[in-house]
Structure 1
């Protein structure tokens, strides 16, 4: 049994590609957002705040990315009655120093079947936040395919 393992690492260059594509999508649909990208260690790798994005959404975007990367699933998975008051999962949002986010808009970044980070988008509707995040991740995946490997 190996004591260590190798994991692909998300680079700042790849995060910038995702952020730029997300910002273009946000402009296209007419909403300014906060965009946070964390790596697989849950540390902030890149952040962008568009001019009119809600200032109170800065931490929300970061926490969406933190949650999606840490649990390796979209934050929309936590927007169910299980996590509402009275549900068995209610209170999860108070864990991890209050950073666990149950709001839709956190999307894992998966390369070669491995979650290497996540993007969190906040300030639009839930649907807009997801659409913007998925656009950025798609642009990143296109770059990876073009450069022939996961070493971004």
Structure 2
């Protein structure tokens, strides 16, 4: 039996370098208004680092947390705060052992026309502050917020 596969590749879009840098700047501006300093990571749709910044006085651990938030959001096309509920499901809970899965608010998929083109991770404030700065940056630059 012969099977012909019509499509052998899939088109993949990625956040641009310019947009990644603009997101970092927008998050830092929002964090300043909110009252905290942050580490900000932007990844492409495959979770690879595209842009990064850590404020001088942001704790060093915020760098790794921001990157893992961006990676988690890009990997699963879901905000990281959603993972708190997901991980209570015993069928999904084993993923909590993955060293990069970050179930703390502040990570968002970067969405354009309904497609995930990257991930944004913010760390340095409370999870609410991180989420607020990320959401403000995404909406300011015209990216879609994922359905909650």
TM-score normalised by the shorter chain: which range applies?
Answer: 0.7 to 0.9
Q: Distance in 1 between matches of 2:23 and 2:140?
A: 6
Q: Under a length normalisation based on structure 2, what TM-score does the superposition of the two structures give?
A: 0.86
Range 26-35 or range 133-142, more displaced:
133-142
Query: Residue 22 of structure 2 aligns with which residue?
Result: 17
The residue that corresponds to 2:94 in the other structure is 91
In the alignment, structure 2 segments of 5+ residues that lack a partner are 1-5, 144-148
Kindly indicate whether the alpha-carbon contact (under 8 Å) linking 1:15 and 1:37 is maintained by their aligned counterparts in 2.
yes
- Where does structure 1 lack aligned partners over 5 or more consecutive residues? 143-152
1:29 aligns with 2:34: yes
Q: Could you say which residue in structure 2 is the equivalent of 1:67?
A: 72
- Distance in 2 (CA, whole Å) between partners of 1:53 and 1:109 is 24
Equivalent pairs, count:
137
Hey, which of these two has a bigger chunk of helix by percent? Answer: 1
2:24 touches 2:53 (CA, 8 Å); kept in 1? yes
> Which structure would you say has the larger RCO, counting Cα contacts within 8 Å and 6 or more residues apart?
1
Determine the C-alpha separation between the residues in 2 that align with 1:64 and 1:30. Answer: 20
Partner deviation per Cα, 1:86-144 (whole Å, 9 max, x = no partner): x513331322xx111111111011001100001001111111101111122123327xx
State yes or no: 1:110 paired with 2:115: no
Q: Does 1:6 align with 2:7?
A: no
TM-superposed deviation, 1:56: 1.2
The root-mean-square deviation of aligned C-alpha atoms, in Å, is 1.5
Which residue of structure 1 aligns with residue 146 of structure 2?
A: none
Structure 1 SS opposite 2:12: coil
